[in-house]
Amino acid sequence: MIKLLLSPEVVSEYFHGRDDRITHLIENFLKNPDIHIWIMMHTVTELMRDHGKPKEVNQFFKDFPKIPLNDQLANLAVEMEIEFEAALSVVSAAAFKLNAVVTLNPATTIGSVSHISVEDAEKIGDIKADGPINFLELSNALNPIYNKLDGWFTEIIQSTAFAGGNHVKEFEKEFAEYCGAKHAVAVNSGTDALRFALTAMGIGPGDEVITVPNTFIATTEAISQVGAKTVFVDVSPETYNIEPDLIEKKITPNTKAILPVHLYGQLAEMDRIVKIADKHGLKVLEDACQAHGAISNKKRAGTFGNAAAFSMYPGKNLGAFGEAGCIITNDDEIANIASCLRDHGQSEKYVHRMEGYNGRMDNLQAASLRAKLPLLDQWNQNRREIAALYLEKLKRVRGVKLPKVKDVKAHVFHLFVILVDQPKELHEYLKGKKIFTGFHYPIPLHLQEAYQSLGHRLGDFPVTEELADSLISLPMFPEMNEAQVNRICEEIKRFYD
């Protein structure tokens, strides 16, 4: 992803159509998904004033992300002691981590940001050809939603509606509708979503909950924190999700629920799991913290069991600007209890149905999620296309075992994880090539000190243990391009050759 700021004179020339070179360049940029163009808000404001037709100017630039002029940027520009507009372009581009400023009067470099001419901008694709490929790039998701967020955040600040508020209620409506569920209960985190959902489902001391050991500890923390006992089941060597064939062997008279994890964004085999639960009278809580928008048989993640928990941590497929989470359910009582639990057990102000927690989602986080939700399906489709490239280009690489994708729409590729020989050595090799990878759950939960009391040993869950020893997570975010995937795959091939 290449991000450019258009200087005021370039913006003016483009609007008035006085320079065919600029018109052609910017129109090509707008068609290129790997290039994002920003402009400064005060440039548009001045055009509105000078042109005399503010509505026309506003409509012309409505889809461009705009950087506002604020005290911090103005002070930084003044301190540079060069022409103010040029300085403001530089500090604005630097503040928003843009790659360059396109201008009619280029300087070589001012500060850390290059000024480039219109002619040089035609070669802009070369700027980051050999640049770092990060494991995750959160800033790219800001480009298409910045203007909406700028307005909504200003509204929230001016209204001082920070805890709860209109955006929380609207997000609950919109996310429930998106998932195809009756209720959405917005909470402070995915961990709270898991914990409140378990409590609302009646899970408590003395109960057992079946889940997997290859997940983040939040899954099992929630079980322990409601007073229940975690019972682990190993996973499929193909999908890395819970193996349904092993579930019934772990059911006892104390078993009250199954908690499947849709790991890395791929749905667990929910039809089989729900049948087992129905047979034994068990509840099902989906850990959908990595699976926002995944679909199977026209049903979204979160709508197969009695309830589902989503994390909206910033790095998720649908991520807020801080901590956030959500519960999805079609059960009125689960929704009502969860709503009370997040707000100190209140059914209304100062009326406490039970003891609860301070687990509310704040209005700023809800606004950020509302801005992103309309883009989620496209972002997920981008992830599937990136994954398809990985699967194709790595399928014959010695030392690499690829995950099995049973249903493309049932996977939203929150992570793209491969099984490899020498994962730590590969990680270091790629790091040396400015390609950054990750490890997800290198120590399975049953071997963590926190769960020594369960009495598990090495060898109890062999598939999980093999995955923990051999998995590596490759870069995955919606704005990745084919050239980046090609480069990653070529370096992996070189390592194993």
Gap between the Cα atoms of 411 and 266, Å rounded: 4
So what's the architecture of 2-129 in CATH?
3-Layer(aba) Sandwich (3.40)
In the structure, what pLDDT confidence band is assigned to residue 112 with cuts at 50, 70 and 90?
low
Percent with pLDDT over 90 in the chain: 76
Give the C-alpha separation, 243 to 238, whole Å.
10
Output the pLDDT for position 109.
Answer: 53
The confidence band for 125, taking pLDDT boundaries of 50, 70 and 90, is low
From residue 462, give the alpha-carbon distance in Å to each of 63, 80, 211, 237, 456. 52, 61, 15, 10, 12
Q: Which CATH class is domain 375-496?
A: alpha beta
Using CA atoms of 152, 377, 137, 393 in order, give the dihedral in degrees to the nearest 10.
Answer: -170
- How far apart CA 457 and CA 372 sit, in angstroms, is 43
Q: Is the Cβ–Cβ distance between 268 and 406 less than 8 Å? A: no
Q: Summarize pLDDT for 35-51 with one digit per residue, the tens.
A: 889 999 999 999 999 88
295-298-301-304 Cα dihedral, nearest 10 degrees: -140
pTM of this structure: 0.92
The mean predicted confidence, pLDDT, of the chain is 93
- pLDDT score recorded for residue 338: 98
Mind listing the pLDDT tens digit for each residue in 169-221? 999 999 999 999 999 999 999 999 999 999 999 999 999 999 999 999 999 99
**Whole-number Cα distances in Å, 13 to 24, 43, 122, 176, 236:** 12, 12, 17, 45, 59
- Residue 342 contacts residue 192 (beta carbons within 8 Å): yes
* Model confidence at 78: pLDDT above 70: yes
Local structure of residue 267 (DSSP, 8 states): P
* CATH number of the domain located at residue range(s) 147-374 in this protein: 3.40.640.10
Provide the 3-class DSSP secondary structure of residue 176: helix
Q: Where are the alpha helices (DSSP H) in 201-303?
A: 218-225, 270-280
Nearest to 425 by CA among 394, 470, 395: 470
Least confident of 121-125, 276-280, 366-370: 121-125
Burial of 402 (0-12, 13-18, 19+ CB in 10 A): middle
φ, ψ for residue 455 (rounded to 5)? 75, 20
Measured between alpha carbons, how far is 7 from 26 in angstroms, rounded to an integer?
A: 12
pLDDT at 323: 96
Residue 299, pLDDT > 60, answer yes
Q: Please work out, in degrees rounded to the nearest 5, the angle formed at the alpha carbon of residue 416 by the alpha carbons of 444 and 248.
A: 45
Hey, where are the domains in the chain?
A: 2-129, 147-374, 375-496
Instruction: Indicate the helix (H) or strand (E) that contains 393.
Output: helix 376-393
Long-range contacts of 60-63 (CB under 8 A, 24+ apart): 60/15, 61/11, 61/15, 62/147
